[in-house]
Amino acid sequence: NAGVTQTPKFQVLKTGQSMTLQCAQDMNHNSMYWYRQDPGMGLRLIYYSASEGTTDKGEVPNGYNVSRLNKREFSLRLESAAPSQTSVYFCASSFDPGNYGYTFGSGTRLTVV
Amino acid sequence: EDQVTQSPEALRLQEGESSSLNCSYTVSGLRGLFWYRQDPGKGPEFLFTLYSAGEEKEKERLKATLTKKESFLHITAPKPEDSATYLCAVPSEGGGSYIPTFGRGTSLIVHP
C-alpha cells in the first residue's frame, strides 16, 4: 500500500544512547517532515526537507539531526538521547511545502529512561 | 506569534447528537486552514483544506467552515466511528517556507 513507512514502531533507550528513526515514502513526494507529539502539546515540527538535498530546522530541532538520504527516505537521529525526548515521532510527506495535505506515517513511540 | 487554538479540548456526544468543534487562529495573511483526524495509535489523516472566508467542505457527516478568524468542524448525527482526535493546522512562515502550526486537538468520543 502506498504511504509513509516508519521504523521502528516502538523503542526504549537509555539516557545517552543514540538511535536513528527511519522514514520512507513511496508517493513520489518532494517534501518530508519530522514531528513530535506530546500530550497537551500538539504536533511540533522538528525538521523538514522541502526537496531532496535540502533540510531546515523546525520549531524544536535541538538534540536532533536529519538526513535526506534520497527522494524517498528521510531519517531522524538522536545523538545522545535525553528523557525530554520521550515522545511519539511522526514522519510526514507532501508533494511540495505548500501542499498541506500531508500523509503521515503511523509513528514511533520512543521512551528514554 | 502565530497561534492556533482548538476548543473544546474534549467532547463527549451521544450517537446522533450533532455538535461543532472550533479552531481559532491568529496569523497574518491566511494561506489556508487544514483539518486532520487522528485515531489512537495512528498518524493524522488529512480531511479538508479551506482557503478563504465563507468556504465550506463536506465529507460524510463532517462539514468544515471558515471565517476570517476561526474555523468550525460541524459533526451531524455522529456515529461511534467518528470518535477520534480532530486537529487543525494553519501555515506559518519559517525558514523561507510556510509550515503548518497544529492546534492541540479536540478529542471526540461518541457513545452508542
Could you tell me how many helices (H) and strands (E) chain A has, helices first?
A: 0, 11
Each residue of B80-96: pLDDT tens digit? 999 999 999 998 776 66
Does residue A104 have a pLDDT over 80? Answer: yes
* Residues A78, A111: Cα–Cα separation, whole Å: 12
Q: What is the C-alpha separation between B100 and B33, in angstroms, rounded?
A: 9
Contact A58 B99 (CB under 8 A): yes
Cell of A54: 535540502
What is the average pLDDT across B6-30?
Answer: 93
Residue A16 φ/ψ region, left for φ over 0, alpha for ψ in the -120 to 50 degree band, beta for the rest: left
Chain A contacts of B32, Cβ < 8 Å?
A: 100
Q: How far is CA B62 from CA A103, B19, B27, B47, B76, in A?
A: 20, 10, 25, 9, 7
Contacts of B9 by beta carbon, 8 Å cutoff, 6+ apart: B104, B105, B106, B107
Name the more confident of B72 and B100.
B72
Residue of B12, B2, B63, B69 lying closest to B35 (CA atoms): B63
User: Across the interface, do B97 and A56 touch by the CB < 8 Å criterion?
Assistant: yes
Distance from CA of B16 to the nearest CA of A (A): 28
Q: How confident is the model at residue B27 (pLDDT cuts 50, 70, 90)?
A: confident
Angle CA B98–A70–A103, to nearest 5: 50
Chain B partners within 8 Å of A42 (Cβ): 87, 102-105
What is the rounded CA–CA span in Å between residue A11 and residue B89? Answer: 28
Q: Report strand pairing: A74-78 vs A64-68.
A: antiparallel
Question: In 3D, which of B14, B18, B12 has the Cα closest to residue B106?
Answer: B12
Chain B residue numbers with beta carbons less than 8 Å from the beta carbon of A58 are 94-95, 99
Model pLDDT, residue A27: 94
